[in-house]
Amino acid sequence: MVWLGVDLGNARVGLALSDPELTFAHPAGNIHVAGDYFFAIDDVLDMIEDEHVEHVVIGLPLNMDGTEGKSAKKARRWAANLIKRLQTEREDTSEEHPAVQVSLVDERLTTVTAHRQLFEARQSSNRHRPMVDQQSAVVILQTALDRAREQ
């Protein structure tokens, strides 16, 4: 069983994968999206298939007061689009694939946490930009993994 973490960004979509035991999240790369992260859905679907992902965790960018703004609504639309595409692909294949779960996780302060983790790992600040999206995906996924273990 493997989970995929997704951090939606306007320049890049960061990805993270779990280990099969669902203990740790690790970076899995970025998808460059040139201003519209809806372009990343095909690449995410490919990763789901290639890595046998059973659960996708998407960061939900809430406002600091916990309300949903424009970015959160766009993330919800992206998640709904992904779910629709996953259902269509299941219907189009004759093989019986298990349904992939999709959930959203509050991602407030994940970018701050990701920058701090990269700094603590002694990564130079000019190298943070390309790494921060996938590190944010790691934080999002690790949060979901820890919560799942606590339940």
38 near 81, Cβ under 8 Å? yes
**Quick one: pLDDT at residue 4?**
98
**Quick one: pLDDT at residue 151?**
83
**Quick one: pLDDT at residue 22?**
96
- The sheet with strand 12-18 has its strands ordered as 25-32, 12-18, 2-7, 53-60, 101-106
**Quick one: pLDDT at residue 111?**
60
**Quick one: pLDDT at residue 58?**
97
Residue 15: φ, ψ to 5°? -125, 145
Residue 57: φ, ψ to 5°? -115, 120
> Using CA atoms, how far apart are residues 114 and 12, in angstroms rounded to an integer?
15
Q: Is the pLDDT of residue 11 over 90?
A: no
What is the residue range of 103's domain? 2-150
CATH of the domain at 76: 3.30.420.140
pTM, whole model, 2 decimals? Answer: 0.86
- Polymer length in residues for the chain: 151
Domain count for the chain, please give it: 1
